[in-house]
């Protein structure tokens, strides 16, 4: 691929950071798994409306392509990957936050997820068909051993009927199909083989297998009891890491296919009804920016809000502990609710 030409209105992190000099420096490089610069940037080149535009194929890519990736990481996480070290804290005892909406007037549901990938395998964009099946097998075996509120069943996507799939997506439990950003990154190869979802009976604990990351470990429930959702997630992550070895670096924390998910790989969100603030997007964005929160629509990334309902979550995931990320989200959401009440 020659040096890409981005449309003039493109604002992705890729288009802002990929200079001709960096392109020339990196274009001959290849990791041991054969991942190249072209593979790394294809999604952002084919989809200029990406917010970031790069997907990483393996652990080594974070070193091999550091001249492009480090500035993106620095900008997104306000974290210097050359001098700082990521610190983790997933102890629910340390999370001292109240439900920001005890009357249940604004928050519809709370969801906290972390991404994880298996050490000794490439990340999703670099995963071969056979490796993806091995990952599915290892993860679904590990999930079988979960007990109590975490116990459930694994449902492979292959063979799942369309109505069930549609309902799971509609209810926000399952990932969407045919995401063009993931498609260009090679993350949808051999679809639907090797993909699936695990959940308990109440669908309060779920694991996505082989989507953007090999595991997305998810705790979610109606309402705003953030501590309970975090406690369940922490328990699950603890149980799974006794059975699986996750890709982790002292420098960058948990390694994920998208650099926005490095570190904690955690996105703590609420679905919240804020119709009045939704009419004042400038003020809404200003409050979110002050708390480093991201606004998404209600069908996930790249979707729009419906009926005044928004998905509000922590933006930063690296250089912040899990406990801090959740606290930051809770504090911002409290301020958003206060403002909505006063409008």
User: Which of ligand IOM, ligand ADP, none is residue 110 near (CB under 5 to 8 Å by kind)?
Assistant: ligand ADP
Least distance from ligand IOM to the Cβ atom of residue 52, Å: 3
- Which phi and psi (to 5°) does residue 285 adopt? -65, -35
Count Cβ neighbours within 10 Å for each residue of 238-262 and write b for 16 or more, e otherwise.
Answer: ebbeeebebbbbebbbbbbbbbbbb
Cβ contact 244:130 at 8 Å: no
User: Which of ligand IOM, ligand ADP, none is residue 270 near (CB under 5 to 8 Å by kind)?
Assistant: ligand ADP
Q: Which tokens go with 302?
A: 């790249």
HSE of 74, CA atoms in CB hemisphere, 13 A? 12
113 labelled catalytic: yes
For position 65 contacting ligand IOM by CB under 6 A, the verdict is: no
Q: Is 72 exposed, middle or buried (0-12, 13-18, 19+ CB in 10 A)?
A: buried
Q: Catalytic one among 10, 15, 232, 258?
A: 258
Q: Catalytic one among 231, 256, 260, 264?
A: 260
Helix-strand-coil percent breakdown of the chain, rounded to 5?
Answer: 40, 20, 45
Site residues (CB under 6 A) for ligand ADP, limited to 206-265: 216, 220
Q: Which stretch binds ligand IOM (CB under 6 A): 48-56, 130-138, 243-251, 273-281?
A: 48-56
Q: How many whole angstroms separate alpha carbon 197 and alpha carbon 281?
A: 35
With CB under 6 A as the rule, give the number of residues binding ligand ADP.
17
Query: What are the residue ranges of helices labelled H in the chain?
Result: 13-17, 20-26, 37-46, 61-64, 66-77, 129-144, 162-170, 180-184, 226-241, 275-278, 281-290, 322-342
42 labelled catalytic: no
Q: Catalytic one among 111, 267, 315, 327?
A: 267
Q: Catalytic one among 211, 212, 322, 340?
A: 212
Q: How many whole angstroms separate alpha carbon 311 and alpha carbon 333?
A: 11
267 labelled catalytic: yes
Q: Which stretch binds ligand IOM (CB under 6 A): 47-55, 62-70, 220-228, 270-278?
A: 47-55
Site residues (CB under 6 A) for ligand ADP, limited to 152-211: 172
Q: How many whole angstroms separate alpha carbon 161 and alpha carbon 174?
A: 13
For position 301 contacting ligand IOM by CB under 6 A, the verdict is: yes
Q: How many whole angstroms separate alpha carbon 173 and alpha carbon 221?
A: 11
- Answer for which of 109, 140, 241, 249 binds ligand ADP (CB under 6 A) is 109
Least distance from ligand IOM to the Cβ atom of residue 51, Å: 4
Site string (186-225) toward ligand IOM, x via CB under 6 A: --------------------------x-------------
For position 316 contacting ligand ADP by CB under 6 A, the verdict is: no
Least distance from ligand IOM to the Cβ atom of residue 53, Å: 5
Q: Decide: helix, strand or coil at residue 31.
A: coil
Q: Which tokens go with 14?
A: 């890729």
Query: Which residues are catalytic, by number?
Result: 113, 212, 216, 258, 260, 267, 296, 301
Per CB under 6 A, residues contacting ligand ADP are 109-111, 113, 172, 216, 220, 267, 269-271, 296, 298-301, 311
């Amino acid at each position: 691929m020659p040096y890409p030409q981005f449309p003039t209105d493109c604002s992705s992190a890729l288009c802002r950071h990929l200079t001709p000099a960096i392109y020339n420096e990196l274009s001959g490089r290849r990791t041991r798994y054969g991942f190249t610069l072209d593979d790394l940037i294809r999604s952002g080149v084919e989809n200029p409306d990406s917010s970031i535009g790069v997907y990483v194929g393996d652990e080594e890519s974070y070193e091999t392509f550091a001249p492009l990736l480090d500035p993106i990481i620095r900008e997104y996480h306000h974290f210097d990957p050359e001098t700082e070290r990521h610190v983790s804290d997933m102890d629910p005892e340390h999370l001292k936050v109240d439900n920001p909406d005890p009357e249940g007037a604004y928050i519809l549901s709370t969801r906290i997820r972390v991404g994880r990938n298996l050490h000794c395998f490439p990340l999703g964009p670099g995963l071969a068909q056979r490796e993806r099946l091995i990952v599915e097998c290892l993860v679904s075996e590990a999930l079988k051993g979960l007990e109590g509120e975490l116990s459930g069943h694994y449902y492979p996507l292959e063979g799942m009927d369309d109505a069930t799939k549609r309902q799971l997506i509609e209810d926000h439990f399952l990932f969407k199909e045919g995401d063009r950003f993931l498609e260009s990154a090679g993350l949808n190869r051999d679809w639907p083989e090797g993909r699936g979802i695990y959940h308990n009976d109440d669908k309060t604990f779920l694991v996505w297998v082989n989507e953007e990351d090999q595991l997305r470990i998810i705790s979610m429930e109606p309402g705003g009891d953030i501590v309970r959702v975090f406690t369940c997630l922490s328990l699950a992550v603890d149980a799974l890491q006794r059975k699986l070895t996750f890709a982790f670096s002292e420098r960058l924390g948990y390694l994920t296919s998208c650099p926005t998910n490095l570190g904690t790989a955690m996105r703590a969100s609420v679905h919240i009804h804020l119709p009045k603030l939704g009419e004042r997007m400038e003020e809404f964005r200003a409050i979110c920016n002050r708390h480093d929160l991201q606004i998404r629509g209600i069908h996930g990334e790249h979707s729009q809000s419906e009926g005044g309902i928004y998905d509000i979550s922590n933006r930063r995931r690296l250089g912040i502990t899990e406990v801090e990320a959740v606290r930051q989200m809770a504090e911002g959401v409290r301020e958003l609710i206060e403002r909505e009440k006063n409008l």
